[in-house]
Structure 1
Amino acid sequence: MPMTHSRAYIKVDGALLETMPGPKWKLGGSKRTPVVGNRVLGYSEMTEPGELECELVLTQGMSLAALKDITDATLTIEADTGQTYVGRNAFVTDALEVTSGDGGKVALKFACDPLEEMGV
């Protein structure tokens, strides 16, 4: 019986982020839109960015300004089931949101070039 996905390890420029469970990512790449006349005539394509959303634990000495200013980074997402995805030219997209309690959480959202699957 195959193992199913339950954990992911997120790195930014090779540095492991201390993330909470449940990071979410979108591969990006080609988005196809139907072109419709009297019937479906075909489709058009646009490129969508890769995306990653995760929560960090706010720890003593962590610089929120440094996190907010991440640009031109390489994201690596390693799934416990063996898949690895790499997103180049990554940057933080949204203002950071901090939630107090339960260790303190910092919501991070990244966009990047479409994620590349590196291994299975």
Structure 2
Amino acid sequence: MSNKLVSGRIFFKVDGQQYSVSAGITYNLGRPKRESGSDSSFEHHFKEVAQVPYISGELFDNKSLDVAKFLDLDNATITAELATGKSIVLRNAWQTGEGEVNAEEGKIPFKFEGESAEEVK
């Protein structure tokens, strides 16, 4: 694999079962978000705010997909294998997307949030 490849084909799995998704996967490892501030004497500081780790994207609604079952997924391990060769693993995850299906495009937006996430290279 070229070390210059940064995007492209993605493999997306839920509990080991592969699903067909578009290449637009977004993820957050759940690291604390830092927010900057200043006090009345112009001293600068930051605080950290907790974030929930997630993986989101769009699933293709093919003939074999059980939409209701997919939308009800809970306590799942989600894996996104990226074109760069690294994988994002989200553990103890639940589906939080709205469940809207775009029949014209054949896509279902999804979002899985979970207890922990890690980047595996």
Same fold (TM over 0.5): yes
| Residues 23 and 54 in structure 1, CA contact (< 8 A), matched pair in contact too | yes
Q: Secondary structure at the match of 1:90?
A: strand
Q: State the match for 2:114 in structure 1.
A: 112
Q: Secondary structure at the match of 2:69?
A: helix
How much identity, in percent, do the aligned residues show? 29
Q: Distance in 2 between matches of 1:111 and 1:71?
A: 10
Gaps of 5+ in 2: none
Aligned length: 118
Query: Structure 1 length normalisation: TM-score?
Result: 0.84
Greater per-residue strand proportion: 1
Residues 1:79 and 2:107 aligned together: no
1:114 Cα deviation (Å)?
A: 4.4
Q: Which amino acid aligns with 1:20?
A: S
| Residues 97 and 106 in structure 1, CA contact (< 8 A), matched pair in contact too | yes
Moved runs in structure 1, 4+ residues, more than 3 A?
none
1:52 to 55, 61, 79: 55
Q: Distance in 2 between matches of 1:16 and 1:2?
A: 26
Q: State the match for 1:62 in structure 2.
A: 65
Q: Secondary structure at the match of 1:66?
A: helix
Q: Which amino acid aligns with 1:96?
A: G
Please tell me the root mean square deviation across aligned C-alpha atoms, in Å: 1.8
Q: Which amino acid aligns with 1:87?
A: L
Query: Structure 2 length normalisation: TM-score?
Result: 0.84
Gaps of 5+ in 1: none
Q: Secondary structure at the match of 2:50?
A: strand
1:18 Cα deviation (Å)?
A: 1.0
